[in-house]
Structure 1
Amino acid sequence: MRIAIVAGSKSDKEIMDAAKEVLDEFGIDHKEFITSAHRSPNLTKEVAQIIDREFDAAIVIAGLSAALPGVIAAYTHKPVLGVPVASDLLGLDALFSIAQMPRGIPVATFGIGKKGAKNAALFALRILSLKNPDLLKKLKDRAEKEEEELRKLNDM
């Protein structure tokens, strides 16, 4: 099981780290890539082809026009999970760009920033858990632990 984490800029490292934190918690192998759909289209195509050959899914982080998740999705049949980055327009531009993919190029869209990256990582794990009962158990155990923590806060 391997997940690619792709960002359009090295300035998105904090968001990449949020996804990595979740994958590390579950012991999932991952690799980071930095490429731009606009500044390095050939490299982006190569990264997408690597994802298609070597990974089970890709978490793709992008801001501004947020073309990167769609370009990656155009070159792979693996699940692409798009995470928008906040920018001058608070990330709404990126959110809408990722969410409005044309027919035939699906990209799952998550919330803006680090919370979205964590949810994208958890969603990728849910996809992988469809064929991995041990991972499914870990996900269920994590959910139970979170609920137990909330019960303690309520003296329940």
Structure 2
Amino acid sequence: MALAFDAAGLTAYMAEIFPQVADDFAVDELSETGITMRLLTAERHLRPGGTVSGPSMFALADVTVYGLVLSRLGRKALAVTTNCSLDFMRKPEAGVDLIAKGTLLKLGRSLAVGDVHMYSEGSDKMVARSTMTYSIPPEK
């Protein structure tokens, strides 16, 4: 399936529909095989102990799969998360961005399933893995 957006177009559309988090995430790479997104880690994303918080990691996984779905379907802002599985494997490094590599496992008429692997920038050790399912709104 051809991409509906390039990285810049996807970034602009996501900033348009979710301006409240536009400064938290960046699309590093977008291709027909996947997406690489970044959590622009700031103090607000940290938890006691100096590591990235679980809710911030969830948000990165969620926005990564959302970006994958939008990159295929185009302007379908009402696609919503219906299921999430998130495994925390090791403590992310503080002071660096969190990188998510996402792949679309299935894109059907009503559901999309994506897989996300998260890493501290500069490390090849996975800090978390997530599978997300999105409901796709019906055509009108």
| TM, length-normalised to structure 1 | 0.26
Q: TM-score, normalization: structure 2?
A: 0.28
Q: Is the radius of gyration larger for structure 1 or structure 2?
A: 1
* Higher share of residues assigned helix: 1
Greater fraction strand: 2
